[in-house]
Structure 1
Amino acid sequence: MSIVSDTFCNAFRFISSPYRYEALIPGNTELVVEYREKLYCFEDLNKLHKFMRLPEKYYNLKLPHKLPHRKDPLMVTSLPMLGYMEQTLSTAITKAMTAAGLFKPKFPFLSVSRSALIYVAFHLKAYNPKSSDYVRKKYKRKLQQFEEHCELIAYLGNNMSQRYREPGERPIDFDHKMVTFLNLEGIEPTPTWVA
C-alpha cells in the first residue's frame, strides 16, 4: 500500500522490516482507500483488507523522497531500429549465425560469404516461429537441400583421384553427384529456388 500523490500511485510490498525502497510497487488505481485525509492505493484486495483491519499501523509510514519510476508497458514497435532488432530478432539471428559457423557452408560456384548469407536466410525462414508449419517445413527442406549441395565439394574432393578411374572403380553415387555439381554452375539459390 502507499499514499497516492497526484496521479502517481504506489503500493508497499512488505518484504522485511524495516521497509525498503525495493519494496515499493505500483498500486492498482481501482483499489484506493481514504484514511485521515490521505489516499492509499493497493496492489490487490488481500493487501487492502489487511490495511482495513489495522489502518493505524500503516498511517505513519514515511515514503522515501525518491519514488520508483512508473513501469508503463513499452511497445516494441516504438523502439529505434537497433533496439527493435535487439528485442525481437537477436535470438533468431544468433542461432542462424551459430548454425552457419558450425556447418561452414560453401555452395558450388559461389563465394564463402555469399554461401553463408544464403544459409542464414534459409535458416531464418526454416525456424521462424511466426510462420505456418507448411512454410517452416518447406524451408527446412530447402535448407537441407542447400546443405547437401554444399557437401558436394568435400565429397568430390575426397573421392577424386589424379588418374582416371573406370566407372566400376568409382563410388556408386560419384557420377550422379558430379553431374549435380556441374549443373549448379550459374545457379544461385533463392527463396523460390528448386534444384
Structure 2
Amino acid sequence: MCDSSEILHIRNSCYKQEVVHVRKHFQQQYQNWILLDGLKNTWWIYDSIIKEVSISMNYIRSYLERTWNGQAACISRLCITPKELQNRLGEFGQYCPVCLALYYHLVDCSETAVLTYAAEYRGQYYKMCGKDHLETFLTTPDEFVTPSCPHQLPQPHLLPRKLTQIQVKDRFPQQVEMKGFCSVTYLDGNQRYEALVPGKPEYAVEYRERIYIFESKQKQDKFLRIPEAYWDQKLPNKVPPLREPVPLTSLPTLGYLEQGVAVAVIKAMTAVGCLKPKYPFLSIERSALLYLAFYLKAFNHKSTDYTRQKYKKKLALFEENCTLIPYLSSIMRGNYKPPNECPIDFEFKLNRFLALEDLPGASGVL
C-alpha cells in the first residue's frame, strides 16, 4: 500500500534530506522562503498564505508604478538573485548612499543579504542601512546619487575592511598600528593616558595597508564608519605595558590553586556546609572529605559527560545513604514499636543501613 508506515517513513526521510538543499537555494538566491506553522488548522494556513502573497503583490505593484513614473522603488520581495544585484549595483556598491551624503559615514551593508532596505533608481540598485534611510532615498533620490551627491565613495584601496584573526596572523611580520592599542578608545578619550586600552585581534581592520585592532565590536564599527578620524594618531612617549598572558603552571602553588581550583573548591565546600553529611559507620571528617571528592568529580567541566554522570549518581547515592541516620533515629526513638506500626520502608532502610557496616572504610562508598 502506498500509505503504509514503511512508505511514509521513506517519504519523510527523503523530504528531510532534500528540503534542506531546497530551502538553502531559495533563501540564498531568491529570499522568498517563508515558514508557516503546519500544526495550525487549514484556514489559518490558507489565510497566512493569502497575506504573504498580498504583501508580495503590493511590493510588485508599487515597484512597477514607481519605476514607470521614473521614481526610486523598493526592490524587496522581487526575487532578485545575488548575481543580478551585483551586476546592477550603483556607484556606491554595498555602502549606504544616505549615510555617505548626510554624515560622510561609510556604512557597509554587504553583511545583510536581504533586500528589505534596497531600492532601484535609473536602473541601478542601492542598499540602505535602515528603514528611515530607505524612505529618505525613495523621497529624494537625486540628492544621494551622482551628480548631486555631496560625497563620492573613496577608491577601493582607501576603503576599510574587516580582518579575521587568521588573516592578521598571515600578514606577519607586519605589526598592528599604535602598538596594539585601540585608536577609537584613545581619540574618544581625549588622547589621555587612561584611554590607552589594548585592542583584541578578533576586532581587526585593514585601512591604507595598515592593520588596527579595537577594544570591542562597537569600536570596530565606529572606525569602519569614519576611518579618517581615527587612523592617523601618534602615541605618547609613555604607554602602559602590554599585558602578556601568564601560564597557569608558572604561578606559585598558592597562586595556582587560587586561579585554577578556588571557585570549584569553594562551591564544593559550600555544598558540604549546607548538607553536613554523616555517612553510616564513617567519621564526620571522612564523610565530609568523601562528599567533597564526589562533588568535585561530578561538576568538573573538563571531564567527559560519562564521568560526570557517573559521579553525579554516586553523589546522589552518598546523600541518600547519609539520610539513613536521621531517618532511623526519628523512627526508632522512644519505646519499641511493632513492625506493623512502623513506616512501610522502615525495614528496607534498616537493612540497608546494617549492610553498610559490612563494608568498612570508604570501600562501600567508592
* TM-score normalised by structure 2 residue count: 0.41
Give the aligned residue type for 2:360.
I
1:136, distance to aligned residue in structure 2 (A): 0.9
The equivalent position to 1:43 in structure 2, one of 192, 213, 216, is 213
Deviates more, 1:118-127 or 1:182-191: 182-191
Q: 1:68 — aligned with what?
A: 240
- Residue by residue over 1:166-194, the C-alpha shift from the partner in whole angstroms, topping out at 9 and shown as x without a partner, is 2111111111211211222252335972x
1:169 and 2:341 matched = yes
1:158 and 2:322 matched = no
Percent pairwise identity: 44
The equivalent position to 1:102 in structure 2, one of 239, 264, 274, is 274
Residue aligned with 2:303, SS: coil
Q: Is the 8 A contact 1:106 1:112 kept in 2?
A: yes
1:18, distance to aligned residue in structure 2 (A): 2.9
* CA 191–140 in structure 1, closer or farther in 2 if over 3 Å, else same: farther
Deviates more, 1:170-179 or 1:120-129: 170-179
Cα RMSD, aligned residues only: 3.4
Q: Is the 8 A contact 2:356 2:364 kept in 1?
A: no
* CA 159–53 in structure 1, closer or farther in 2 if over 3 Å, else same: closer
Q: Is the 8 A contact 1:13 1:23 kept in 2?
A: no
Q: 1:9 — aligned with what?
A: 179
1:11, distance to aligned residue in structure 2 (A): 3.5
Unpaired runs of 5+ in structure 1? Answer: 1-7, 34-39
- Residue by residue over 1:67-126, the C-alpha shift from the partner in whole angstroms, topping out at 9 and shown as x without a partner, is 211211211122112212211211111111111111110111212121111101000111
Give the aligned residue type for 2:264.
A
Name the CA distance, whole Å, in 1 between partners of 2:306 and 2:182: 50
1:87 and 2:259 matched = yes
Q: 1:184 — aligned with what?
A: 356
1:148, distance to aligned residue in structure 2 (A): 0.8
Q: 1:36 — aligned with what?
A: none
Give the structure, 1 or 2, with the largest relative contact order (CA under 8 Å, sep 6 or more).
1
Q: Is the 8 A contact 1:11 1:41 kept in 2?
A: no
Q: Is the 8 A contact 1:9 1:41 kept in 2?
A: no
1:135 and 2:307 matched = yes
Q: Is the 8 A contact 1:123 1:140 kept in 2?
A: yes
Name the CA distance, whole Å, in 2 between partners of 1:192 and 1:166: 32
Name the CA distance, whole Å, in 1 between partners of 2:191 and 2:364: 59
Q: 1:3 — aligned with what?
A: none
5 Å-filtered alignment, 1:10-29, equals 11=181, 13-15=183-185, 16=188, 18-26=190-198
Give the aligned residue type for 1:169.
E
Unpaired runs of 5+ in structure 2? Answer: 1-177, 215-219
* TM-score normalised by structure 1 residue count: 0.73
Q: Is the 8 A contact 1:104 1:116 kept in 2?
A: yes
1:163, distance to aligned residue in structure 2 (A): 2.3
